[in-house]
């Protein structure tokens, strides 16, 4: 079974993973479906993943105290991990609860676990190696979040805010309750107020100066669903789903006022604020870091990894450019292919389906939003310079000289890009089937569609003419080399077509792959074919009439796209992100790097 290196969204995204700062202020700990990951953030503009521990179950929350990370591990209860050596985290103990552990807070010698329908579990962790149950408070509703202050535990338990007296952890008892209009999923306590992320109802502010009589004093109805909240210096930072991050001035809790709305093209699940930075858990963009020195003028300083679906890839100079689906364009520095790192990101309106890079510009096929030209001369700060909103679904793009050749569903579009700011359509050729991939060589454009391979004469871009057609099964993409078109033909595998005479294309070779052949790159007598769950297939095509498998490299995701440069094959591996394979010996490929493609859902800290 494939194990994708990604934190996946479940159901309504209410099952929260988390970030937490460790004892060292330069370390952040994150959890999700894959387990626990440790990031070094001494420079917030360049976060680095330094450690990982794979938990058996889904990790939904984490709290760090001293050298231990306490993980709410869903059906596996509470898991305690020693992170004294961040590069080598080790499990030291586990305590299996009866419910679904989804939140945890540690205070003194006790860990307070929000345990779903099992309510609140109180566990003695004075010796982290031997945790013991100390107390339990049952709840009729699903308990999702917990915050402990003084002698009280504040529970977000679906029906609202529940306040439990834990002065004697062995005999905990409810003292107060406030029913919210939405569904309480998270809570943060500051001074005499509890700030409740109340999902569809936005942010609720409850006066808890008398825990036995909590009262609503303020409310701010956010645009989307409030999933998480963090309060610092009179500001409430609200994770508001697809609406992004909402920052409220709560100097007067009775009258919260919005001071900033930072839209992120993703789905913000939670937020943690430390110093001048807000660390945002985004289910599509992964970790997003904002400079909130001035909360009313926040600025993005970095994204860590992506949360889209890596579809296609282009390698130029020291960078790999990834078309990452809903997450847009991701730029990865690969100066050392064994240590890649994300340096830039540009969110697109439509799904990024394909990318081509020429000079200092990335041309991105954006699905329903046409295609986009992005200035990548400064990879850390990509900027849009031009946009063409074509009818149809833009799936593929190829740039040659002053023209962009675009596969837009209905056929082939030819765009004059001599002025990048104002791209203009100069030619169009309609096809019978839905077009997908495109490759341009000499005076011909090779276009794949559901009806096969189409060869179009583009010697005069204003008047493109069909020259030849070869009917394949379900062609997805194509690469042309020395008189042959290598077609990634879906479930039909790799089809090799002789195109030495473009008017009479004919099949000369065929290799059947186990899965869907989605992309192909040819170099030095080898065809590199992405084969979805079957990974990367390397085919020896020294004799195009008799292709033979040289090797298979099984990746963790769904291999969609491939680009080969130097000794490495760069694979766009779907939700698993970017995988770099050493193909110095194509008959024996080895892993160079498998980037962590993450989606985070929660952030918490102490």
Report residue 419 CA to chain centroid gap.
33
370 and 409 part of one domain: no
324 and 396 part of one domain: no
Contact 432, 450 (CB under 8 A): no
Residue 177 lies in a domain: no
CATH number for 380: 2.40.10
575 and 504 part of one domain: yes
Residue 572 lies in a domain: yes
Which portions of the chain are predicted below pLDDT 50? 1-17, 23, 306, 601-606
365 and 399 part of one domain: no
Range of the domain at 354: 309-389
427 and 565 part of one domain: yes
The whole-angstrom separation of Cα 105 and Cα 127 is 16
The whole-angstrom separation of Cα 7 and Cα 600 is 6
Order across the sheet with 215-220: list the strands.
186-190, 193-197, 203-207, 215-220
CATH number for 422: 2.130.10.10
Domain boundary among 362, 389, 416: 389
347 and 484 part of one domain: no
437 and 524 part of one domain: yes
572 and 488 part of one domain: yes
What's the confidence (pLDDT) of residue 15? Answer: 32
pLDDT digits (tens, 9 = 90+) for 309-368: 789 999 999 999 999 888 889 999 999 988 888 888 898 888 999 999 999 999 999 998
Of 376, 366, 432, 348, the residue nearest 404 (C-alpha): 366
CATH number for 106: 2.120.10.30
What's the confidence (pLDDT) of residue 34? Answer: 61
Residue 571 lies in a domain: yes
Domain boundary among 138, 171, 200: 138
382 and 463 part of one domain: no
What's the confidence (pLDDT) of residue 56? Answer: 76
Residue 290 lies in a domain: no
> How far from 193 is each of 18, 96, 269, 373, 450, CA to CA, in Å?
23, 32, 22, 48, 60
The whole-angstrom separation of Cα 162 and Cα 159 is 9
Q: Report the number of secondary-structure helices (H) and strands (E) in the chain.
A: 0, 56
Bridge partner residues of 388 (DSSP): 371
380 and 442 part of one domain: no
Residue 54 lies in a domain: yes
405 and 469 part of one domain: yes
Tell me the longest C-alpha to C-alpha distance in the chain: 86
What's the confidence (pLDDT) of residue 596? Answer: 60
Residue 434 lies in a domain: yes
Residue 324 lies in a domain: yes
The whole-angstrom separation of Cα 37 and Cα 28 is 8
Domain count, the chain: 3
156: which 2 tokens? 């977000």
The whole-angstrom separation of Cα 33 and Cα 275 is 28
pLDDT digits (tens, 9 = 90+) for 97-156: 999 998 999 999 999 999 999 999 999 999 999 999 999 999 989 999 999 999 999 999
Residue 270 lies in a domain: no
Q: What is the pTM of this model?
A: 0.63
What DSSP string runs through 14-58?
-S--EEEE-SSTTEEEEEETTEEEEEE-SSTTS-EEEEEE--SS-
Domain boundary among 94, 116, 138: 138
The whole-angstrom separation of Cα 384 and Cα 344 is 13
Of 329, 417, 335, the residue nearest 381 (C-alpha): 329
546: which 2 tokens? 């008799």
350 and 493 part of one domain: no
């Amino acid at each position: 079974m494939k194990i994708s290196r990604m934190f996946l969204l479940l159901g309504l995204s209410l099952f929260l993973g988390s970030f937490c700062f460790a004892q060292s202020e330069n370390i952040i700990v994150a959890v999700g479906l894959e387990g626990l990951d440790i990031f070094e953030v001494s420079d917030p503009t360049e976060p680095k993943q330094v450690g990982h521990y794979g938990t058996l179950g889904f990790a939904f929350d984490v709290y760090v105290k001293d050298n231990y990370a306490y993980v709410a591990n869903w059906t596996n209860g509470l898991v305690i991990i020693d992170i004294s050596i961040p590069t080598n985290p080790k499990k030291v103990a586990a305590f299996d609860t009866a419910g679904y552990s989804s939140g945890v807070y540690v205070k003194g010698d006790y860990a307070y676990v929000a345990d779903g329908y099992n309510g609140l579990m109180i566990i003695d962790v004075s010796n982290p190696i031997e945790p013991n149950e100390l107390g339990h408070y049952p709840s009729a509703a699903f308990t999702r979040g917990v915050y402990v202050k003084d002698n009280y535990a504040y529970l977000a338990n679906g029906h609202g805010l529940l306040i439990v007296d834990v002065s004697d952890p062995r005999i905990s008892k409810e003292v107060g309750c406030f029913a919210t209009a939405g569904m309480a999923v998270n809570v943060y306590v500051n001074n005499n107020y509890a700030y409740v992320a109340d999902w569809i109802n936005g942010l609720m502010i409850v006066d808890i100066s008398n825990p036995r009589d909590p009262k609503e004093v303020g409310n701010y109805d956010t645009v989307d669903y409030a999933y998480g909240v963090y309060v610092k210096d009179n500001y409430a930072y609200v994770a508001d789903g697809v609406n992004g991050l909402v920052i409220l001035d709560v100097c007067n809790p009775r009258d919260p006022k919005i001071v900033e709305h930072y839209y992120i093209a993703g789905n913000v699940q939670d937020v943690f604020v430390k110093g001048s930075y807000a660390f945002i858990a985004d289910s599509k963009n992964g970790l997003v870091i904002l400079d909130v020195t001035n909360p009313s003028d926040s600025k993005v300083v970095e994204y860590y990894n992506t949360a889209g679906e890596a579809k296609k890839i282009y390698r130029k100079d020291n960078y790999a450019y990834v078309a990452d689906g809903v997450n847009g364009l991701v730029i990865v520095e690969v100066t050392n292919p064994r240590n890649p790192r994300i340096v830039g990101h540009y969110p697109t309106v439509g799904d990024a389906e394909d990318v081509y890079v020429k000079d200092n510009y990335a041309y991105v096929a954006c699905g329903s939003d046409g295609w986009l030209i992005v200035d990548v001369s400064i990879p850390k700060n990509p900027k849009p310079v031009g946009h063409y909103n074509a009818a149809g679904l833009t799936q593929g793009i190829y740039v040659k000289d002053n023209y962009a050749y675009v596969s837009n569903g209905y056929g082939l579009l030819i765009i004059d890009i001599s002025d990048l700011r104002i791209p203009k359509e100069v030619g169009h050729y309609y096809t019978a089937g839905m077009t997908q991939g495109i490759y341009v060589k000499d005076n011909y454009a090779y276009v794949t569609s559901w009806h096969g391979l189409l060869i179009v004469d583009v010697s005069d871009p204003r008047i493109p003419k069909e020259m030849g057609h070869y009917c394949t099964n379900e062609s997805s993409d194509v690469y042309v080399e020395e008189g042959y078109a290598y077609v990634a033909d879906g479930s039909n595998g790799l089809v090799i077509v002789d195109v030495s005479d473009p008017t009479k294309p004919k099949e000369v070779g065929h290799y059947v792959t186990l899965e869907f052949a989605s992309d192909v790159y040819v170099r030095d007598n080898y065809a590199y074919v992405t084969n979805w769950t079957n990974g990367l297939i390397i085919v020896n095509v020294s004799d195009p009439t008799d292709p033979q498998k040289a090797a298979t490299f099984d990746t963790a995701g769904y291999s969609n796209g491939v680009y080969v440069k130097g000794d490495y094959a760069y694979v766009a591996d779907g939700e698993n992100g970017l995988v770099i394979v050493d193909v110095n010996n194509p008959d024996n490929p080895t892993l160079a790097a498998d980037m962590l493609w993450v989606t985070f859902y929660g952030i918490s800290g102490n």
